[in-house]
Chain A
Amino acid sequence: NAGVTQTPKFRILKIGQSMTLQCTQDMNHNYMYWYRQDPGMGLKLIYYSVGAGITDKGEVPNGYNVSRSTTEDFPLRLELAAPSQTSVYFCASNVILTGEGNQPQHFGDGTRLSIL
């Protein structure tokens, strides 16, 4: 199993450009998440998905969009890049079974994004 795979690993964007960060997992996890991590700070949840076709906002969703057309893929889209979106983006997944304790999240190795 590859686990959680993110592409690209690095990207530089100009202000106002758009791009999609790709995330795919091969563990058949129902839950997937997007986080951003600014230098010296903790992870903040952008969006999450509980299964194909279902997404919801996290703590910092403004400026981002997501979709979940399949169990495996959970892309994150930036429509109008702004300098405040310079960050490291992590995708994660786990399995949540009703009535059971949460399983830990598995993370991709991140996308480092700079907006200039």
Chain B
Amino acid sequence: RKEVEQDPGPFNVPEGATVAFNCTYSNSASQSFFWYRQDCRKEPKLLMSVYSSGNEDGRFTAQLNRASQYISLLIRDSKLSDSATYLCVVNEDNYGQNFVFGPGTRLSVLP
């Protein structure tokens, strides 16, 4: 069965904190990986793709460990505007239909 699991959350952190989310996937043949953020009652929006060598975009760093089948997202210097639900998304092949969404991890950054 296809599964993507995430830290259950919620994470409540003060402004300026560093926070890390983990995501595991069950299909070792998975090809592409993404982190999306979803604000309350809004659509998911792409935060970043995750590359095999790891990648960084400003305060956000994503890592992929294929051997252990997990993906991580690190947020440094948290801002109030980072409060959202973070979705881990795994695509299991090079075709479109097999995008599997994790349930999300909710982050609240507190003043």
A residues contacting B by CB (< 8 A) are: 31, 33, 35, 40-43, 45, 48, 50, 56, 58, 88, 90, 94, 96, 98-102, 104-110, 112
CB distance from B35 to the nearest CB of A (A): 10
Q: Is B44 an interface residue (CB 8 A)?
A: yes
| Interface residue SS majority, chain B | strand
9 contacts between A and B (CB under 8 A): A42-B104, A50-B96, A98-B94, A99-B94, A101-B32, A102-B32, A107-B43, A107-B45, A109-B42
With contact pairs A96-B94, A102-B32 given, residues A41 and B46 touching in the complex (Cβ less than 8 Å):
no
CB distance from A63 to the nearest CB of B (A): 19
Q: Is B11 an interface residue (CB 8 A)?
A: no
CB distance from B108 to the nearest CB of A (A): 15
B residues contacting A by CB (< 8 A) are: 4, 31-32, 34, 36, 41-46, 49, 87, 89, 91, 94-97, 99, 101-104
Pair B31/A101 contact, Cβ less than 8 Å:
yes
Pair B49/A96 contact, Cβ less than 8 Å:
no
Tell me the nearest residue of chain B to A108, going by C-beta.
B43
With contact pairs A42-B87, A109-B43 given, residues A102 and B31 touching in the complex (Cβ less than 8 Å):
yes
Nearest 9 pairs of A and B residues by beta carbon? A31-B96, A107-B43, A43-B101, A42-B101, A42-B103, A102-B32, A104-B46, A102-B91, A96-B96
